[in-house]
Chains A and B, each alone.
Chain A
Amino acid sequence: MNNFDYSRASDVADAIRLLSADPGAKLIAGGTNLIDLMKENVERPSRLIDISRLPLREIEETASGGLRVGALVPNSDLAYHPLIEQRYPLLGSAILAGASAQLRNMASVGGNLMQRTRCAYFYDTATPCNKRSPGTGCSALDGLNRNHAILGTSKSCIATNPSDMSVALAALGALVHIAGPNGQRTIALTDFHRLPDDKPHLDTNLGSGEIITAIELPPRGFARNYSYLKIRDRLSYAFALVSVAAALELEGNAIGEARLALGGVAHKPWRSLEAEAALRGQAATPDHFGHAADLLLQGATARSHNGFKIELARRAIVRTLMQAASATPQSQAHKKIA
């Protein structure tokens, strides 16, 4: 780890001021990804601004009937919060599918959104990587790319976003509240992360000097018909090859509203309004779910080792929608896939 200066922010405005004053500075809260990246010399901040003591730990109901979650709420506290368990169990399930109990105790909600790809080439400073060192090339394109993206890729980067929480947040239509030198703004979670295009070093649309203060969940929680299914190389504590967040509102067997998002397949949580629109008004059957899966996976392309993900994703989407429709969500502890 490089030597760095350390400051403790006294409030959000102070954090923004410190961040704006030093282009090499980074915010730190849980530190579960940043410290790892610093140990690998991928990140070499000149200063760490400790925001872990800022008062951003509230979970409160909004006037519209949704929920506002402070950016520093630990992942485990959010997953186990009674209002999440009752009203947004898809989110709780996705969070508990990620990392380990220790890391979930440490990691913050805002930090989860800011975590970087686990592409092995991004971590290996001896190899070219456009995300780590812009302009050097992408080692994954023709390298070992079994874990890499099949959707929204570019010639510059085929890395995936590793978050489980973000996949559920995308499906739920969450908002991200941001504060910065020019005041406050709110953007959709689906607009927070970027596709790589020709600027893969930019993971998010967060501007310089900006800080996430909260995420907001809309009133619709899909608490009855939902499931989060994560497919990975071992049964726990591994990143997704493919994950699916599915949420339905059913009237009898007819689909009123449908939400669908994928993890492990793209540079951001992958959602298709077209696929969701195709489900509305249809019967909740495997055929209709298969059609939605095809729409969601439209344009999927494989590199040399990750072609299996396309069929895996298609099957996982259908399976997860079936779990959601039958109100038998995937258990993250009991591994049998119904």
Chain B
Amino acid sequence: MADTSIPKPISINLVVNGEKRALEIVPWTTLLDALRDRLELTGTKKGCDHGQCGACTVLVDGRRVNSCMTLAVMKDGAEITTIEGLGRDGTLHPLQQAFIDHDAFQCGYCTPGQICSAAGLLAEGRARDADEIRELMSGNLCRCGAYPNIVAAIEQAMSRS
């Protein structure tokens, strides 16, 4: 196949933040681009676009993944949770509240990915202390260097969950 012949879009269904969404999508669209450009959920951020910074972290069927390294077409039928879907009925998710309580950001660009990643970490239940939180959050970079406060925020949410 030459690059000039464009394969037909493929129909997929996603459940995004509890809502059914049908999409016609070309296979090289990442989940990140589908969320931001097609579904207008721009809370999920594009940082490095190479799986190195974690800004694009979302939950797919409850597990944290890098949406920039995920093809949307491969997630047909999956449940996706983004930062927009973590809070319920106008109430912040405990992690969102904890990030505010601990001032766990400066510019805020990495924050949606940090919070989605932390939600995945809490669900996995593998972190028991600050060192383990640091290790299991190492896929989320913060160029402002808010790490101590991010760890403190996650410890707060962990102790209350």
Which residues of A line the B interface, CB within 8 A? 1-6, 24, 28, 31-32, 35-36, 38-39, 46-48, 50, 52, 76, 80, 99-103, 105-106, 235-237, 332-335
CB of B38 closer than 8 Å to a CB of A: no
- Residue in A closest to B25 when the chains form the complex, CB atoms: A6
Q: Are B7 and A6 in contact (CB under 8 A)?
A: yes
A50 CA to B137 CA in the complex, in Å? 29
Q: Are B138 and A106 in contact (CB under 8 A)?
A: no
* Contact mask for chain B residues 46-57; partner A; CB cutoff 8 A; 1 contact, 0 none: 000111001001
Within 8 A of A (CB), among B120-153: 120-121, 124, 126, 131-132, 134-140
A101 CA to B137 CA in the complex, in Å? 7
Q: Are B65 and A333 in contact (CB under 8 A)?
A: no
Which residues of B line the A interface, CB within 8 A? 1, 3, 5-7, 10, 26-28, 30, 49-51, 54, 57, 63-66, 69-71, 73-74, 117, 120-121, 124, 126, 131-132, 134-140
Q: Least Cβ distance of A329 to chain B in Å?
A: 15
Q: Are A100 and B139 in contact (CB under 8 A)?
A: yes
6 smallest CB-CB distances across A and B, nearest first, come from A100-B139, A236-B138, A6-B27, A333-B135, A237-B138, A333-B132
Which of A5, A32, A101, A235 has a CB less than 8 Å from the CB of B124? Answer: A101
Give chain A's interface secondary structure class.
loop
Given contacts A1-B28, A6-B7, A106-B66, contact A101 B117 (CB under 8 A): yes
A103 CA to B135 CA in the complex, in Å? 13
A48 CA to B136 CA in the complex, in Å? 31
B26 proximity list for chain A (CB < 8 A): 3
Given contacts A4-B1, A333-B135, contact A80 B126 (CB under 8 A): yes
Given contacts A101-B64, A105-B63, contact A36 B3 (CB under 8 A): no
Between-chain CB contacts (< 8 Å), 20 pairs: A1-B28, A3-B1, A3-B6, A4-B27, A6-B71, A32-B69, A36-B51, A39-B49, A47-B1, A48-B71, A50-B73, A52-B74, A80-B126, A100-B139, A102-B66, A105-B120, A236-B135, A332-B135, A333-B132, A334-B131
Which of B70, B120, B121, B140 has a CB less than 8 Å from the CB of A31? Answer: B70
A39 CA to B56 CA in the complex, in Å? 16
Q: Are B28 and A3 in contact (CB under 8 A)?
A: yes
A3 proximity list for chain B (CB < 8 A): 1, 3, 5-7, 26, 28
